[in-house]
Amino acid sequence: MENFEDLFRLDGRVALVAGAASGIGRAAALGLASAGAATICADLNLDGAEGVASEIQAAGGQAEALVLDITSEQSIAGIMRQILENHGGIDVLVSTPAVNVRKPLLQYRAEEFDKVIRLNLKGSFLIAQAVGRAMSENRRGSIILMSSIRSLVVEPGQGVYAATKAGLVQLARTFAAELGSAGVRVNCIAPGVVETPLTEPIKRQPEWYKAYAERNALGRWANAAEMAGPVVFLASEASSYVTGTVLFVDGGWTAIDGRFTPPI
């Protein structure tokens, strides 16, 4: 008889969370550590990453903080050396860093385009590539990239951001196809509207904030902690046959057709 008691446990696993200092990255780090993973909290903001690692340690978990710039191959190589030397391998990657420049496409400057593409798409590719190589050697692992509902639906001012999030889906699918034979799974999580530092400008505008809340089936924004469960699921054996897919965690945003409720 199968044993389902430990399906979501990550004891003995090593997890790297890029962008762990705040928002969804922080929630992912806390969730993975609570499931038993030794969690490496990595971020450009070392003070923030150390704060999250301290939270985990205070709760009895295993964690450490490291500086990481996912747009720098040198930074990625350095952190991978440290992880492999200290832990012997890596079992889980969650990559969350992203930036958005909200403006119409006709007003976009080339340097703004490069900024968004460089972090959201190229940075995610570089860290997934490096971790994928290490996981392939160990013949197991789970890579989780952070896409968005904007990979599927868009609105004015979100074009370049949306393009990166759609691109991440195709990168994840290709990584999944190429690494599956090595026992490495690769998936995307696509959040809806989540209260994070990235969305703080929207929260400061009540009408905009309310419109987004009313756009999804649950009628509210998510808090970052609600992303921890999907992360743990995709990191654990509970998703052992899940790869190359997108898990929408959007409160039903992509399931419903606008805000109007007809008189049925």
The amino acid that residue 45 corresponds to is: N
DSSP per residue, 165-187:
HHHHHHHHHHHHHHHGGGTEEEE
Are 98 and 127 in contact by the 8 Å Cβ rule? The answer is no
Other C-beta atoms closer than 10 Å to the C-beta of 98 total 24
- Across 19-40, b (16+ Cβ under 10 Å) vs e yields bbbbbbbbbbbbbbbbbbbbbb
Give, as one character, the DSSP assignment of residue 221: P
Q: How far is CA 205 from its chain centroid?
A: 26
- φ, ψ (nearest 5 deg) of residue 20: -80, -10
**Spatial distance between the Cα atoms of 23 and 52, rounded to a whole number of angstroms:** 11
Active site residues: 161
